[in-house]
Structure 1
């Protein structure tokens, strides 16, 4: 993957990986402490390969992208920054793939930019009307920086605990420590208000014109299938839902080959519905 660079969006720096040539896809990460664009999407981006132009930012408050001066993180900032980033890169049409919090941002972006956004993949998404903060997500957002917090958090995210390896814990703990100060400002307790602020209105969802693929794990405890994905089926004009069994909150890591196959098939420009 190409070396990361910094792009100014509305006068504030956004750290982004921009690689490959071809149709563009914007990949938006989720909200766990220590999450970065490259950390969340590296293997997916590698597998999609050079036939795509992949834009993988750290969203404001995560990784190496600061929250702009005088602002605070939230759906509006993340959505406007994503749109502004693609404008700054000169990309007129693009697909958006978002995980968890990034799924809510992806759907909000598709509603705000119907002429630009060609397809949406919302994975383990937040944003459904009527959903409430789960105890698992509350615990993920509250996880303290360091190995114990990292292990606890990762164990909540995945169904198969064999995936919580020492190296995965170590990598996440390092990322959590690096971003601890900024992350603390994003979701301070009580946290239900920050989850509610990511909820999309029926009106916003009705404004999404692009085809949407929802991908979810049947055993997702962080954003449960019944409250996170299924309600969206009644709100989106052109939608399909793919459920992985034996899968928690991170299908891209828990079912990597099938997930990438699903993604590349749905995103293919010649794909017809």
Structure 2
């Protein structure tokens, strides 16, 4: 089998007509992890350090969002919040999960936010990490991420942008993520999702202020202080607007809190989701 040893490929389930690749690990209260939008990203690449720890306490479900990873790419799928949120809710339906905790990273944070707004009864608690979902002037780093053109050199530059500690970003990782980004259909779909001018994509992922302020859920907002991709001000705004929120900012940390501070991140999220 071509993908037999590929850890990024988990289980497969049809959601709204889309064959969706997802990981389903552990037992207990369900937690849905929604990944970010970097080139070549998959749920496993994004959450590989989080899943082992969190799954000791919860049932962790981590799908590849439509247009990313090993989830089927349908030519007529309309990429946008409505379609992506419908896929996430459809996945919960297909797995017979009426309500789950939702953890969203960056782009996935915008999806988590929109899901909580549009389907509040499907969400118990919310975690937003380096989250999009509010309007902000696009950063040069995010413009570079969404404007990625495949090469090992370009991937290495992006990895350096993502992390505060650049020693974490090895040549091997750059080659691995580059190879992921050039698999059949990956780049074509990726470039079509976030076309220039990419400020439009930031705005399209944003939820309305009055809707965010009305979110009733307990919410944990997490951000890396040195994040170049999504500005810290985005999480400060979310923490201000969501009444039942708490904010945790990691110093000496870029956009990948769950990788740069993996143990601390997993401990913080586990405690938040399991406390009574």
TM range, smaller chain: over 0.9
Q: How does 1:159-178 map to 2 (within 5 A)?
A: 159-178=164-183
2:92 matches 1:93: no
2:224 matches 1:198: no
Confirm or deny: 8 A CA contact 1:96 1:106 kept in the other structure: yes
* TM-score normalised over the length of structure 1: 0.94
2:218 matches 1:211: yes
Confirm or deny: 8 A CA contact 1:111 1:209 kept in the other structure: no
* TM-score normalised over the length of structure 2: 0.93
Deviation, 1:16, is: 0.9
3-state secondary structure, aligned to 1:115: helix
Deviation, 1:135, is: 0.9
Task: Give the total of aligned pairs.
Answer: 268
- 4+ residue segments displaced more than 3 Å: 66-69
| RMSD over equivalenced CA pairs, Å | 1.6
CA distance in 2, matches of 1:80, 1:208: 19
Deviation, 1:3, is: 6.6
Confirm or deny: 8 A CA contact 1:17 1:55 kept in the other structure: yes
2:119 matches 1:110: no
Confirm or deny: 8 A CA contact 2:162 2:227 kept in the other structure: yes
CA distance in 2, matches of 1:248, 1:232: 18
Question: Where does structure 1 lack aligned partners over 5 or more consecutive residues?
Answer: none
CA distance in 2, matches of 1:75, 1:243: 27
CA distance in 1, matches of 2:137, 2:86: 24
Confirm or deny: 8 A CA contact 2:138 2:202 kept in the other structure: yes
* Structure 1 match to 2:63: 57
* Structure 2 match to 1:222: 229
CA distance in 1, matches of 2:144, 2:129: 20
Deviation, 1:70, is: 2.1
